[in-house]
Structure 1
């Protein structure tokens, strides 16, 4: 099992950062591995909602289905895979800091079977991807602030 955590302080209010990261339609904008993400259950999103993510991993397309297991707007969202090639949990914790937001993004993965032998490579790929994703969230939201 591995855990990867990336953090950023974003010059944007917590409710707006939460709205952005909790909307699956935005995920392809900031997560370089995601092709698409769609809500499978009726809106609004909350505990029990289901999401389908189409992603690229190791040069091939894979699909995950996630279930929202924790949703406390605008502070926390956690999704856990219910299908896909790698049991995964993704958690966003947000803390207001005046008009800024401290974002902590965490991915827990549990490679099984033959994937255990390449766990260090999987973890490094997840770390690189999450680092780029959190930086992209920050850049996208702060660009909105700069434009007014």
Structure 2
């Protein structure tokens, strides 16, 4: 059982800048309030196989989440999947980027959430909350990337 959420946002920054910012998952706390800490392994340039280890707070509970980069096509596509095991995981997610006519970047973010065990019962609630927050999440990404200039 899975559910998906998407959001598209236009960012007033060139596609190469937006790609570089989003490919470095260590920026996630700047736009995702649920991410408390994040580390990258191995250090250096993000590439396929890079894992971001994060501590997040969901519904008042802290958990450790590990996301592996599964595809990286500069400057248009980033894909990841969660390699940690929890009742609800992001089995597939990513960013699709395209330049806009005015020199900005259109970014589409998506995540496919999967329920495991008890998470199957909680998935509709988690998916609904994620879809409800998606527009605000997109605005936070836009604000964070534009502020990084």
Which residue matches 1:87? 89
Which residue matches 1:29? 30
Could you list the per-position Cα deviations for residues 36-64 of structure 1 after superposition, in whole angstroms to 9, with x for gaps in the alignment? 22112132111111110111111110111
Distance 1:61 1:135 in 2: 25
Which residue matches 2:116? 112
Structure with higher helix content: 1
Note if contact 2:34-2:58 (Cα within 8 Å) is conserved in structure 1. yes
Which residue matches 2:142? 138
| Paired residues for 1:34-53 under 5 Å | 34-53=35-54
Please report the TM-score for the alignment, with normalisation by the length of structure 2: 0.89
Distance 1:61 1:143 in 2: 28
Deviation at 1:109, TM superposition (A): 0.8
- Partner-residue secondary structure (3-state), 1:117: helix
Please identify runs of 4+ aligned residues in structure 1 that moved more than 6 A: none
Deviation at 1:141, TM superposition (A): 3.1
* Unpaired stretches in structure 2, ≥5 consecutive residues: none
Please report the TM-score for the alignment, with normalisation by the length of structure 1: 0.89
| Paired residues for 1:3-82 under 5 Å | 3-82=4-83
Note if contact 2:26-2:52 (Cα within 8 Å) is conserved in structure 1. no
Note if contact 1:31-1:129 (Cα within 8 Å) is conserved in structure 2. no
Which residue matches 1:125? 129
* Unpaired stretches in structure 1, ≥5 consecutive residues: none
Could you list the per-position Cα deviations for residues 41-89 of structure 1 after superposition, in whole angstroms to 9, with x for gaps in the alignment? 1321111111101111111101111111000111111111111312312
Note if contact 1:5-1:105 (Cα within 8 Å) is conserved in structure 2. yes
